[in-house]
Structure 1
Amino acid sequence: MNSKIKQRINNLRGKMQAHDLQAVIIPTSDPHMSEYIPDHWKTREWISGFTGSAGTVVITQTKAGLWTDSRYYLQASQQLANTNIILYKDGLKETPTITQFLKSNLPSKSNIGINSETTPIETYRIWEKELINLSLNADSNLIQELWDDRPELPKSQAYIYDEKYAGKSSKSKIEEIRDKYITSSSKKILITALDEIAWILNIRGQEIQNNPVVISYLILSQKSCDLFIDSKKISDELKKYLKDQSINTHEYKDIYPFLSKIHETEIQYDPKVTNVKLTQSLQRSVVKKETPSPIALLKAIRNKKEIENIKRAMIKDGIALTKFLIWLETNINSSITEIDISNQLYKLRSQQDLFIGESFDTIAGYKEHGAIVHYKATQDTNATLKPKGLLLVDSGAQYLDGTTDITRTIALGELSSEEKLDYTLVLKGHIALARAVFPEGTRGSQIDILARLPLWENRKNFLHGTGHGVGHFLCVHEGPQSIRMNENPIPLHLGMLTSNEPGVYIDNSHGVRIENLILVIPFGDGLYSNYYKFETITLCPICTKGIVKEILTDQEIQWLNDYHKKVYDTLAKHLNNKEQEWLKKATAKI
C-alpha cells in the first residue's frame, strides 16, 4: 500500500507543477465540515493512507507532512511508515503549525492549492492572514483529476424521524429559530452542518457510516425553508412530509446557483462549517453575517421526551453490555480476539429494541493497543486476549430513541502496580467530575481540572478532551459544549448531555479510559446563582478488580457504591437469574 501512496504523491506533484502550484493542503473534510465523511470525500486518506478521523496533509514538491492530534499519534506513525510523509503532532509545543511549515519551506509568491468546497471560511481566513507573501488558490481540486476509482456520492433514501422520538415537530423547531434568530424579512440563515439539518427537519439517513444524517443544505428565512438534497433520496412519503412542513426542495448541487441569485439581504452562517465556495457564490450586495450557529445550542439542550428516550436507550445498552461482560469473563481462556470483542458487542446490541447500528467503530485495545486512543483492530493487528493485563473497550450504539457512548477498561487478570495506579487515578478523576456541582453559567473548561487533578498530581495527563456533547440519534460527537482544557465560551445548560472520559495512555504498555454520559440537571437555588450538577445516565458496571482502594476517599467509594446500586437496581429486572447473580457480584460494595 505504501508504494501506492508514494506513487500517488508523485503523480500529484506532477499535476501541481502543471498548475504552477508549489504546495497543496488536503484536509479531512467534506463540504459540510463533518467529522465522519463519506468515502467520496476521503481525499486525505487516499493520498496518505492514514485512516484517522482528523488530520491535514500538506504536500510540496520536496516534502510531505501530516498534522493530527494526540488521539492518533501512534496510529499515524504506523500508517505513515515508508510513505515519506512526516508526522507532525498537533498540540506539542515543538510542532510547527501548517502555516509556519509552509512559510519556512516555500519561496515568496509561491502558490498554494486548496479545495474551496472542503475548506471552511474561518480556516481560509487564518491561512490568508498568516501566509504573507504566499498566494492561496482556492479552486484547486487536483485529486479529482487523479482518483480514477473515486467512490460516488451516497444515494441512500432519507426518512422521517418520528416525533415520538424527537420530542418536537419540525414546524415548532423552525418557528423557534425564526422567532429567536430571523428577526427581519431580509434575513436568511444558511445551515450547512448535517446534524443540524437532520435535527431541524426531523429527518435521518444512512449515508455516513454510524451517523444517521442526510447530505444536504438548508436555507431558512421568515417565510421560506429551502432544502437542497438529491431528489433520488426522497421517497413519496418523505416528499409529502416535506410539503406538509412547507419545505421547498431543490437538487443538492443547485445550492451554489441559488446563492448567487440572492440580492440585497443578510445571510447568517457559521464560518467554522461553511465552505469557501458557498461564500464565494454570494453577491457583493449580500451582507454576510458570520457567527457561531445558533442551531447547535438549541439542539444540545434536550427536551423532556428526548431525555426520557435516552434513558430508555441507556437501559437497553446496559443490558447488552452486562451480557457482554459476562461473555468476556466466561470466554477469556478461549482465544478470543479484539475483533471478536467488536463482533460480540454488535451482536448483543442488535438484539435490543430499536437498535439501528453502532455510533462509531468499536475501539477494543488489549494491553499496548489500549494506548492508541482511537485504535481499530485489523486482521494484521488483531490481538488475542489472555487472562492478564488491561482491555480498553470504547463503543456505542444508535437506537431510534438515543445515541450511546461508553468506555470500560477491564482487568482480565494479573495487573502491574503501574496499571493499578493508573486505573485508580483515572477512576478518581471520573468520579470527581461526576460529582461536580457548579453555578449556572459555568463553562466546561472551568471544571475540566476535576478530572485531571489526580493524574497531574502524579505527573501524568491525557491530551484529548474530557467531555464532548452527544447527539440524539445523531452524531456521537457534537457541540457546542465541551469539557476540555481549551477555552470554549459555551456554558453548560440544563438538559445538555456530555461524556465524562478521563484517561491515561502509556506507549507500548497500556491505556485506561472510563467513560459515562452525564446529563446536566438542577441542584437548586443558592448564593448569587442557580446551581447545577450531573446525573450519570450510563448504566454498566465499572471494573473494580484494578482499584487501589487505599487511595480512594470515602466520598469516592460512596459514589462508586451508589452508582453500582443504581446499575443493579435498574438492570437486574431485565436479566435472567444467572445474569443477575453475576451483576450482583460485579456491583457489590467495595
Structure 2
Amino acid sequence: MFQTFDPTTTPEQGPPRLAKLRGAMADQGLDGYIIPRADVHQGENVAPRDERLAWLTGFTGSAGFCIALNDIAGVFIDGRYRLQVRDQVADVFTPVNWPETKPGDWLKDQLTSGIIGFDSWLHTQHEIEQIEKALAGTDITLRPDPANLIDHIWDDQPPAPDGKTIIYPADLAGKTHDEKRSEVAQTLKDAGQNCAILTLPDSIAWLLNIRGSDIDRMPVVQAFAILRADETVDLFSNNSSLGDLTDHLGGDVRLHPITDFTDHLNQLTGTIRVDPKSAPLEVTRQVTKAQIAYDEDPCILPKACKTDAEITATREAHLRDGAAVVEFLAWLDRQDPETLTEIDVVKTLEGYRRATNALRDISFETISGTGPNGAIVHYRVTTQTNRQIRDGDLLLVDSGGQYIDGTTDITRTIAMGDPDEEPRRCFTRVLQGMITLSRVRFPKGLAGRDLDALARFPLWTAGLDFDHGTGHGVGVYLGVHEGPQRISRASEVPLKPGMILSNEPGYYRDGAFGIRIENLIVVQPAPELPGADDRQMLSFETLTYVPIDRNLIVTDMLDVNQRQWINDYHTDCLAKLGDRLSTDAKAWLTEATRPL
C-alpha cells in the first residue's frame, strides 16, 4: 500500500530533543530558535530528511512551526490542527493559535530582549520581514544562519531523496516545454528582467514537463532553477535520474549539481526576479552583484490556468477515480458497519483505486475518521488511534489519487447505520453551502474571498462555521494543494478560466462527529443568459462525480433549486459512471442516485 498506519512520532520524543536543542542554542548564544514545517522549497509535503518540526515536537500537520525559547516552546497551528496537536505534543510544548497570534507579537509577550536564530534556507523574505516589522523598536533581534541547529542535533537524520524522474507527455500538458519557456521568458523581457529564480519544485516540473518521485504524494523532483530571458534554464539538482532526460530537456536546459546553485547566484548580474513569498531568504543573501526585482514566481499563474488538454485529461482522471470510489461505497454499503475499522476503510478504498491499474500514488494520506475522529480536520489514522465503526456514526472519508492525467481529491461523509437528527441537519447545511458554490455565476475579476461566504451562509444562519478555507487550488498530476487560487477569506487572487479548485465546506463538533463534502471544480466562462447585460461572467464546472449520501439529507431543508441540483448531479453520476462499474456497483449507484 501507499499508506501506512504506524505512528511516526510520539509525544515522549519531545522533551529530550527540546532539551538538546536548548543546549545547542546556548552554545550559539541564542535565546530562541524557529523551527518551520517547510523545507528549502517551501513545500507542504516534505521528505523524511526535512521533517524537523515533527522530529522535535511530535506534531505531524502539514502547516505550522515552533519557536523554542529557554522557558517556553510554542507550537503554532491553524484551525485544522487544534485537536490534533493536543494528542501529538508533550506538555513541554504550548499550542498557539495561528494566524490569530502572530510570531512577532508572541515573541514580544515572552521576551524583553534576546536573539532568535533561524535557518535562512527555510524561511522566505516575506516571512522574516513580517516578524522583524512586529519586533521593530524592541531589543529582540533575528539572526539568520544557513546552518540548521536541528540538523546539528539530529543524529539519525535520513538522507536526501533521489527518486525516479519521468517525462510528462506534451499531449497531456497541452504545450511543449519549449513553448512554456518561451512564454514565461517573454514575461521577463516585458518586465525588463534578465532571469527569474525558481525555487518551487512544482513550478519547475510544470515548466520543463517533467515529474518526479522525490516526495511522497507529490510528483516532483527537488531542484532549483534559473530561467533566463533568452529562454534557457540552469537546473540544479542532485537527482541522479535527471541525466536520463537530456534528450527531452535539450541543449537549452543545462544540468548542474545543487551545490553549484549558490555560486551561480553569486555571479548573476542585471535585474533578477525573486518571489519574496516562496524563495528562501538565503537566495537573496547570496545575490551580491545583481539588482533584485521582487515579484511572483512567473510560473505560478500560467500553471494554475490549465490548458484545454489538461482539463480534458483531468476530466478522464476524475471519472476513473469516481468509478473506483463508487465501487468502494457499494462495498461499504454491503458490510455490517460494526465489523469495520477506520483502517479497513482506507485499505479497501486504496485497493479499488489500485485496481484501475492507473494509480501512481495517493494524492495525500487518506482521512478516514468515524465518530469523534471525524472532527479532527486532517486526521491520520494509525494503529494506535484506529477506531471501530459504530452504528449511528458518521464516517468522513477524504481521499484522492495521483494519475498521469490528473490529481483527484474528494470527500464524502457517510451515514453508518441510522444517525441522529442533529448530524443530519448539520450535514444538510454543509450540503446547501456546497451546492450554492457549485451553482454560482460571478463577475470576472472576483477572488476567492468574494465567494467564500456563499458556502458558509447556511451554517452561519444556525450559528455554525468551520475553521478552514472553503477551497484550495489543485494541480494536474502535481500538488493536491496548489496556489495561487483559493476560495478563502484570505485569497485576493482573481479567479480565471482553467483554475481547478476544491469546493469543500464542513462542520466539526469536537468529541462527536465531523462533516465535509468535497468536489473539485474548474473555472470556466459562464453560459450566456437571455437578456443578460454584457458583463463577463464566470462559473464552475464540476469535475467530481460520486453520489452524496441521501440518508444524511433532510430534504425539507432544501429549496427547489437545491433539490434540483442534487437530482441533476446524481443523474449525471449515473450517466457518466454507469458503464465503468461492476454489475453490483452499478446496481448500487442506480439506487443511490434516485431523485429526492
Residue 437 of structure 1, aligned match among 437, 441, 447: 441
Residues 189-338 of structure 1 mapped to structure 2, 5 A cutoff: 189-223=196-230, 224-230=232-238, 232-236=240-244, 238-244=245-251, 246-263=252-269, 265-283=270-288, 285-333=289-337, 335-338=339-342
**What amino acid is aligned across from residue 120 of structure 1 in structure 2?**
T
Q: TM-score, normalised by structure 1?
A: 0.96
The answer to whether residue 20 in structure 2 is matched with residue 11 in structure 1 is yes
Whole-angstrom CA distance in 2 between matches of 1:378 and 1:231: 32
What is the aligned partner in structure 1 of residue 55 from structure 2?
46
Name 1:29's counterpart in structure 2.
Answer: 38
Give the aligned partner of residue 6 of structure 2: none
Shift of 1:463: 1.2
**SS of 1:567 mapped into structure 2:** helix
Q: Given that residues 75 and 95 in structure 2 are in contact (C-alpha distance below 8 angstroms), is that contact kept between their aligned partners in structure 1?
A: yes
Contact kept, 8 Å, 2:187 with 2:298, in 1: the verdict is no
Q: Tell me the alpha carbon deviations over residues 331-360 of structure 1, each in whole angstroms, 9 at most, x when there is no partner.
A: 234622111111111111011143201000
Distance, in Å, in 2 between the alignment partners of 1:127 and 1:336 is 48
Offset of 1:24 from its aligned partner?
A: 0.6
Give the letter for the 1:107 counterpart: T
1:468 alignment partner in structure 2: 472
Aligned twin of 2:64: 55
**Equivalent position amino acid for 1:15 in 2:** A
Contact 2:317 2:406 in 1 (8 A): yes
1:106 equivalenced with 2:122 (yes/no): no
Contact 1:451–1:466 under 8 Å retained in 2: yes
Is 1:573 the counterpart of 2:576? The answer is no
Verify the 8 A CA contact 1:22 1:106 in the aligned structure 2.
Answer: no
Counterpart residue type for residue 538 of structure 1: T
Question: For 2:527 and 2:566, how far apart are their aligned partners in 1?
Answer: 23
Question: Within the alignment, does 1:458 sit opposite 2:465 as a pair?
Answer: no
How many correspondences in the alignment?
Answer: 580
Asked if residue 352 in structure 1 is aligned to residue 360 in structure 2, the reply is no
* 1: CA distance, partners of 2:287 / 2:524: 43
Deviations 1:257-307 (A, max 9, x none): 1101123x1110111110011110001x41111112231110111111111
Structure 2, unmatched stretches of 5+, are 1-9
Once superposed, what is the RMSD of the aligned Cα atoms? Answer: 1.4
From the superposition, tell whether residues 127 and 185 of structure 1 become closer, same or farther in structure 2 (CA, over 3 Å): closer
How far apart are the structure 2 equivalents of 1:202 and 1:401? 13
Q: Which residue of 2 aligns with 1:479?
A: 483
Amino acid paired to 1:262: L
2:493 maps to: 490
Which amino acid letter does the alignment assign opposite residue 278 of structure 1?
Answer: V
Q: Which amino acid aligns with 1:463?
A: D
Residue range with higher mean Cα deviation, 161-170 or 476-485: 161-170
Deviation at 1:442, TM superposition (A): 1.4
CA gap of 1:457–1:186, structure 2 versus 1, over 3 A, is: closer
5 Å-filtered alignment, 1:324-403, equals: 324-333=328-337, 335-403=339-407
Q: Which of the numbers 84, 99, 102 marks the counterpart of 2:92? A: 84
Contact 2:330 2:584 in 1 (8 A): no
Whether 1:512 aligns to 2:515 is: yes
Cα deviation 1:507-540 (Å, max 9, x = unaligned)? 0000100000111122245425211111111010
- Rounded to whole Å, the distance in 2 between the matches of 1:278 and 1:579 is 54
In structure 2, C-alpha distance between the alignment counterparts of 1:464 and 1:25, rounded to whole Å:
24
Number of the residue aligned with 1:68: 77
Q: Which amino acid aligns with 1:73?
A: R
Question: Using the alignment, how far apart are the partners of 1:362 and 1:190 within structure 2?
Answer: 34
Structure 2 SS opposite 1:426:
helix
Q: Is the 8 A contact 1:433 1:450 kept in 2?
A: yes
Partner of 2:570: 564
Counterpart of 1:271 in 2: which secondary structure?
coil
Greater shift, 70-79 or 385-394, is seen at 385-394
Between 1:25-34 and 1:384-393, the stretch displaced more is: 384-393
Tell me the distance in 1 between the aligned counterparts of 2:108 and 2:449.
33
C-alpha distance in structure 2 between counterparts of 1:69 and 1:227, whole Å: 35
1:84 is matched by which residue type in structure 2? V
State the partner residue of 2:160: 153
1:544 partnered with 2:550 = yes
State how far apart, in whole Å, the 2-side matches of 1:325 and 1:546 are: 15
Normalising by structure 2, report the TM-score: 0.95
Contact residue 170 and residue 202 of structure 1 kept, 8 A: yes
- Residue 519 of structure 1 aligns with an amino acid whose one-letter code is V
- Aligned counterparts of 1:327 and 1:163: Cα–Cα separation in 2: 37
CA displacement 1:111-150 (0-9 Å, x = unmatched):
1110001011111111222223222111052111100000
Change (3 A) 1:524 1:330: closer
